[in-house]
Amino acid sequence: MNPVAGREAFVGVGPVWLFYLLAAAASTVFVLGLVSHLKVWRSGLAAGGSWSWRGFLVDGLLMARLWRRDPLAACLHASLLGGFLLLFAATGLWALHEYTYPFLRGRPYLVFSTAADLAGLLLVVGVAGLALRRLVLGRRRLPGGWEDWGALALLMVVGVSGFLAEAARLQATRPAWAWASPVGAALAAMLPGRLAGAPGLWWWVHAISALGLIAWLPWMKLLHSLAAPLNLATAAGRGEPTAEAREESGRPLLAGQLLSLDACARCNRCETRCPSFAAGEGLSPRQLTQQVRRTMLGRHGLWAKPPDDSAGGSLSASDPFLCTTCGACQEVCPAGVSPLEIIRAERTLLVEQGQGVPGDVIEALESLAKYANPWATPRKKRGAWSKGLDLVDLAKGGQAKWLLFAGCTTSLDQRAQAMAQAMARLLAAAGVSAGVLGRKEPCCGDIARRLGEAGLFEMHLEDTAAVLAGVDCQGVVTMSPHCAYTMNQDYPRLAPALELEDDWSHQPLHYSQLLDRLLADGRLELTGTLAGRATFHDPCYLGRHRGIFDPPRRVIRATGLTLVEMADHGQDSLCCGAGGGRMWHAEVQDADTHISALRVAQAQAAQVRYLVTACPLCLIMLTDAVKTAGLEAEIQVIDLAELALRAAGGPEPA
């Protein structure tokens, strides 16, 4: 009778009790490490949240975000992860077979053996590919040390030793169904007789390396394989604590943000896209995230020391205020980590403690509190830009279809005022009634929010909600994408927690959206006679943060100009350098290399006459950068509304 396909466990292994002892020790170390990190996650301030199975399965386990950005890396990671998970499942099935009912006999065993071999091959190929990729890209693109190479080496030892143990077993037992283990059989054929005498030796190498991997996993960067899917599953549903709740708890970070620290794989994608790092300012989102991670683990882990809050935040005094909050780091992160959220939390902690905040940032915040703008300008001058224009004074009980919400910078900066004036004239040309609030216009709170003054931001939110509740208009259109983002994204998260009489229900448009709508409806006509090449600089808080890319481009095309794209555009646009309150941070404005200079260089490379934008901060920064570079005769920085006004009958740009 032909024997039934199968195999015995622990062939030539020796004292099996030693394996169980090592397995118990590895499991204990694993649990201790996981508990330590769970303790850190739980130390954060809770703010609601919800679970997303799509985030967990599609973005987490299937790595959809990585596939979109880097298919090769995604393929290699999928090979490693898929092989590891299949081998883990195979180990579980074999344990059930061994300790419950022996069902892996005959054909089921043949299928099981082949599948396990292919899973091991996937693991080895994935590890080898990632190691080669790390060598090719080098330390600039993938900085790392012993931990990175140690993790790859240990995974490789697990995979290769498993095949060697299998080959040794096949040489020793010579079963008729060796073909069902194709990789092991191939190795046995390549190394005839050399492994037969030591199946137990290779089994122990495989077992010890696998148990070592399990024990080490919560303590090394491979922890991101567990934390990343959890982070992606919970990121979208996180709430927002009020300043009062933060003060009462004394906790600087949300629980979800602490989870995201362990989701970081240190792949360096964030650093390669960070405009501050590109300008040589010294900010590294990767290093920052890891520094906060180490600090929080030291404060709240199993072996935590009592926190010394008198020392201020987790970072150096200047690092948090170098961030432009452009969001490029979180956009490219396959694990959904948001360094800018962590930075804002650190800024809030520094502001609350009154330590490590740059002097010019303090002055801007004091101006916001006193004048409701960061320019230290009396509120009575806020409406001066609108004099002589056909605009309704909504602060005095007037009625209009649209409230034109200029914002602090557009109202008070001379260069930016032309944006609002052009938009007002375009609305009049389209026969659309519009009004303003003049000196009664509140600050939306964007600057306070980005700089970490949570309490002041909430005051601005409440003030804005109260003012807009009494305005007789059908909608709000903002000149600044920062105002539109703050009102559309930040307000709804905090309005319920602040128990406003009416939850925030306004959904302001950015003016580029309204111009696009008026053109589509035929209310506004452009001559389409402007000539030349133009490019559009996507403001971060219009494009990347809100996904509004096409409306401003349709407006540009309607003017007759030929639209070309810069090297970085759309979702991958390069920041102008003014966001995150940096406009009022003298240290970065006085630096030798400006982020805006990098952007102007891209415009120059695109060989355009017009550099168009739709944000007052971008307009100011890019105009100054063109002047500094001496390119005024070559490139003209112009606002989208100004361009549209000229195409509607005004003079062609010089």
Render pLDDT for 303-327 as a digit per residue (tens, 0 to 9): 776 655 444 444 554 578 999 999 9
Kindly list the distances between the CA atom of residue 5 and the CA atoms of 9, 164, 325, 568, in Å, as whole numbers in the listed order.
Answer: 14, 20, 61, 59
Residues of the chain with pLDDT under 70: 1-2, 11, 47-49, 194-197, 237, 239, 249-250, 252, 305-318, 496-497, 499-505, 587-592, 650-654
CB under 8 Å to 583, separation ≥6 — which residues?
374, 409, 589, 617, 620, 621
Kindly list the distances between the CA atom of residue 288 and the CA atoms of 226, 314, 562, in Å, as whole numbers in the listed order.
Answer: 21, 9, 41
pLDDT of residue 80: 96
Token match 């007052």: residue? Answer: 616
CB under 8 Å to 485, separation ≥6 — which residues?
446, 541, 542, 545, 546
Closest Cα partner for 448 from 439, 459, 457?
457
State the distance between the two ends of the chain, measured CA to CA, in whole angstroms. Answer: 96
Kindly list the distances between the CA atom of residue 280 and the CA atoms of 271, 277, 323, 468, 574, in Å, as whole numbers in the listed order.
Answer: 11, 5, 12, 42, 15
**Average pLDDT over the chain, rounded to whole?**
89
pLDDT above 90 covers a percentage of the chain that reads 67
Token match 């900066």: residue? Answer: 413
pLDDT of residue 540: 97
CB under 8 Å to 173, separation ≥6 — which residues?
7, 11
Tokens (6 digits) for 554: 């349709």
Token match 């100054």: residue? Answer: 624
Evaluated on CA atoms 611, 615, 618, 620, the torsion sign reads positive
Token match 């360094």: residue? Answer: 339
* Contact call for residues 438 and 382 (beta carbons, < 8 A): yes
